[in-house]
């Protein structure tokens, strides 16, 4: 099992690009820290209860809390062949250090950190129009990826919702937090010699094709 990290600001398209990669690369899977946390909140686990306040303010949850969730995930998903993309983890330098320890423990290798580089005005446009299906997790955008029937998920027919942290105030805070706490990881992975920067303002399919070429040249 090899690991790739998807780095990028909120709204940079990490989840969408990961979805596309899963369609075109055999053995490719993703774990999203945000999805794990939202599931923990829904399930009212101890971690979910602790995380909820941070998330509703657009702040990062404590490093150890999310690192433990990723560690647990890898404990049951690190066997066998394939590529696992980490979407949204690490988000701070201490998390990157924790990830090194976790990867060693599970015997998996970090092959790339992929930065989706997107201009701030595009991030704002994407986040403010984002709609999600609360049941199957499918993502939409009011103007660029509208559902066939207004407000309804194409895949499972459930009414679409706005994510709790996609309101203007929380969006602004999440972008600020990204600059202050996550952007330093760009230099971190550049120094480690694994950073790949791709222009993330394009269609997901185009971005995914570029990433596939880069992953292949490094992996095989
Ligand atoms: P996302 O779905 O990736 O946009 O994440 C939603 C929210 O979950 C973030 O705004 C944070 O509050 C929290 N979160 C997700 N991943 C992490 C992480 N690696 N470290 C700390 N907080 C996180």
- In the reported structure, the alpha carbon of residue 217 is separated from the centroid of ligand 1 by a whole-number distance in angstroms of 30
CA–CA distances in Å: residue 203 to residues 10, 13, 198, 199, 210 = 16, 9, 12, 10, 11
Q: Is 109 helix (H, G, I), strand (E, B) or coil?
A: strand
Q: Helical H runs in the chain?
A: 14-24, 33-42, 46-57, 63-77, 93-106, 120-128, 168-177, 184-191, 204-219
From CA 89, how far away is CA 99, in angstroms rounded?
A: 9
- In the reported structure, the alpha carbon of residue 181 is separated from the centroid of ligand 1 by a whole-number distance in angstroms of 12
Structure tokens at 2: 């090899």
Structure tokens at 112: 């790339």
Predicted confidence at residue 215, as pLDDT, reads: 80
CA–CA distances in Å: residue 217 to residues 54, 98, 104, 220 = 39, 27, 23, 6
From CA 32, how far away is CA 83, in angstroms rounded?
A: 14
From CA 118, how far away is CA 13, in angstroms rounded?
A: 9
- Give the mutation target among 11, 34, 170 for probing the ligand 1 site: most ligand atoms within 8 A of CB: 34
Q: Return the active site residues.
A: 14, 91, 130, 163, 174
Predicted confidence at residue 220, as pLDDT, reads: 43
Predicted confidence at residue 216, as pLDDT, reads: 78
Written as tens digits, the pLDDT of the chain (220 aa) is 999 999 999 999 999 999 999 999 999 999 999 999 999 999 999 999 999 999 999 999 999 999 999 999 999 998 888 999 999 999 999 999 999 999 999 999 999 999 999 999 999 999 999 999 999 988 899 998 999 999 999 999 999 999 989 999 999 999 999 999 999 999 999 999 999 999 999 999 999 999 999 887 765 4
From CA 36, how far away is CA 99, in angstroms rounded?
A: 16
From CA 155, how far away is CA 139, in angstroms rounded?
A: 10
Q: Are 176 and 59 in contact (CB under 8 A)?
A: no
The greatest distance separating any two alpha carbons of the chain, rounded to the nearest whole angstrom, comes to 47
From CA 196, how far away is CA 76, in angstroms rounded?
A: 28
Name every protein residue with a CB atom under 6 angstroms from any ligand 1 atom: 10, 33-34, 37, 54-55, 58-61, 66, 88-91, 95, 165, 174
């Amino acid at each position: 099992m090899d690991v790739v990290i998807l780095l990028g600001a909120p709204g940079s398209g990490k989840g969408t690009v990961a979805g596309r990669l899963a369609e075109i690369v055999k053995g490719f899977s993703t774990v999203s820290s945000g999805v794990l946390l939202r599931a923990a909140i829904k399930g009212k686990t101890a971690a979910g209860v602790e995380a909820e306040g941070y998330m509703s303010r657009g702040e990062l949850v404590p490093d150890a809390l999310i690192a433990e969730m990723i560690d647990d995930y890898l404990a049951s998903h690190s066997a066998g062949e394939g590529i696992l993309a980490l979407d949204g983890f690490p988000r701070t330098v201490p998390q990157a250090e924790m990830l090194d320890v976790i990867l060693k423990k599970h015997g998996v290798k970090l092959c790339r950190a992929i930065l989706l580089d997107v201009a701030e005005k595009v991030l704002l446009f994407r986040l403010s129009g984002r709609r999600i299906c609360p049941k199957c997790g499918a993502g939409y955008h009011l103007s660029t990826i509208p559902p066939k029937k207004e407000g309804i998920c194409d895949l499972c027919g459930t009414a679409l919702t706005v994510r709790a942290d996609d309101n203007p105030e929380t969006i602004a805070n999440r972008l600020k937090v990204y600059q202050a706490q996550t952007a330093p990881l760009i230099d971190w992975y550049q120094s480690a010699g694994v950073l790949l920067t791709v222009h993330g303002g394009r269609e997901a399919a185009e971005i995914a094709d570029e990433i596939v070429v880069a992953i292949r040249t490094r992996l095989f």
